[in-house]
Chains A and B, each alone.
Chain A
C-alpha cells in the first residue's frame, strides 16, 4: 500500500514512501503504524502518551465528556451528523484518537432518547441529558470542561502521529558522506 512522492528537488534526500496502511493503523490505535514500520519505541511512546492524555481527560470529566451529541435533528444520517457536529464540534477532534472513541459512534447510531442505555456499550460514551451536563459543569469545578479539552487535544495530536506514520517525521535523517573522512554522518533535513 506504499506509494512514492517526489521530494522537494534535493537529490541528497531519498524520496518519501507514503505508507497509508501504517497511517490507518495509527488512526485505529495511536503508534500502531510506527510499530508496524519497526519504529517500536516511538510507537509505544505515542500509544502511552496519547492514551494517557485521552483517558485522563475522560476520567476528569466523570467519563461523560466523550460523546456525539444528539441535537434532535431527525433528518438523514449525514444531515443529522453535520448538525450535531455543528452543535457540539468536540467530537470532531476526539474522533481521531481512533477505536477508543468508537463507542460514542455506536451510541450515536443507536441513540434512543426513550431508553437510558445503548444496546452494546450501555451508558459508556452515551450523550448525557442536558440536565446532567449542566450539573457536571456546575459542580465539577471546571474539571469536566478541562477533561474534554484534553480528549480533543489527544485526538488532534493523533493526526500528527498518523501523518508521521504515512510520511515519516518532518525532519528526516539523511546520510552525508564526508569527503575528508571515510565515516558517514547523519544530519536532519526538512522534507
Chain B
C-alpha cells in the first residue's frame, strides 16, 4: 500500500485540533478545520504534482 494512503488521518487530525485550539464555537471550529484541511490538501497535492511533473520531464 502506498504511504500516501496514510495522509488523510494526519490532515483531519491536524485541521481539527488546530482549529479547536483557536475557537470554542463548534460551527467556527468545523469551518476553520475545513479551510485548513483544504489548504493542506491543495498544498500537498501541488507539491506532489510538481515532483511528479519534474520526474516525468527530466
- Residues of A whose CB lies within 8 Å of any CB of B are 39, 41-42, 45-46, 49-50, 52-53, 56, 60, 141-143, 146, 150, 153-154, 157, 160-161, 163-164, 168-173, 186, 188
Q: List 9 A-B contacts (CB under 8 A).
A: A45-B16, A49-B13, A49-B16, A150-B6, A157-B14, A157-B17, A160-B21, A164-B21, A173-B25
**Would you give the 0/1 interface string for B1-32, flagging 1 where the beta carbon is closer than 8 Å to chain A?**
00100100110111011101111111010000
In the bound complex, residues from chain A placing their C-beta under 8 Å from that of B21 are 160-161, 163-164, 169-170
Least CB distance from B34 to A in Å reads 15
In the bound complex, residues from chain A placing their C-beta under 8 Å from that of B24 are 39, 42, 168-169, 172-173
Can you name 5 extra interface pairs (CB under 8 A) apart from A146-B3, A150-B9, A172-B24?
A50-B17, A56-B9, A168-B24, A169-B24, A171-B22
Which of A143, A161, A163 sits near B3, CB closer than 8 Å? A143
The answer to whether A42 and B20 touch across the interface, beta carbons within 8 angstroms, is yes
Q: Which 4 A-B pairs have the closest CB atoms?
A: A164-B21, A160-B21, A170-B22, A53-B13
Q: How far is the CA of A56 from the CA of B12 in the complex (A)?
A: 13
In the bound complex, residues from chain A placing their C-beta under 8 Å from that of B3 are 141-143, 146
A160's nearest neighbour on chain B, judged by CB, is B21
Q: How far is the CA of A22 from the CA of B48 in the complex (A)?
A: 40
Which of B9, B14, B22 sits near A169, CB closer than 8 Å? B22
B26's nearest neighbour on chain A, judged by CB, is A41
The answer to whether B20 and A150 touch across the interface, beta carbons within 8 angstroms, is no
Least CB distance from B12 to A in Å reads 8
B28's nearest neighbour on chain A, judged by CB, is A188
B19's nearest neighbour on chain A, judged by CB, is A169
Least CB distance from A11 to B in Å reads 21
In the bound complex, residues from chain A placing their C-beta under 8 Å from that of B9 are 52-53, 56, 150
Q: How far is the CA of A15 from the CA of B26 in the complex (A)?
A: 23
The answer to whether A171 and B23 touch across the interface, beta carbons within 8 angstroms, is yes
Q: How far is the CA of A60 from the CA of B23 in the complex (A)?
A: 31
Q: How far is the CA of A164 from the CA of B21 in the complex (A)?
A: 6
In the bound complex, residues from chain B placing their C-beta under 8 Å from that of A170 are 21-23
A186's nearest neighbour on chain B, judged by CB, is B25
Q: How far is the CA of A173 from the CA of B16 in the complex (A)?
A: 18
Least CB distance from A1 to B in Å reads 21
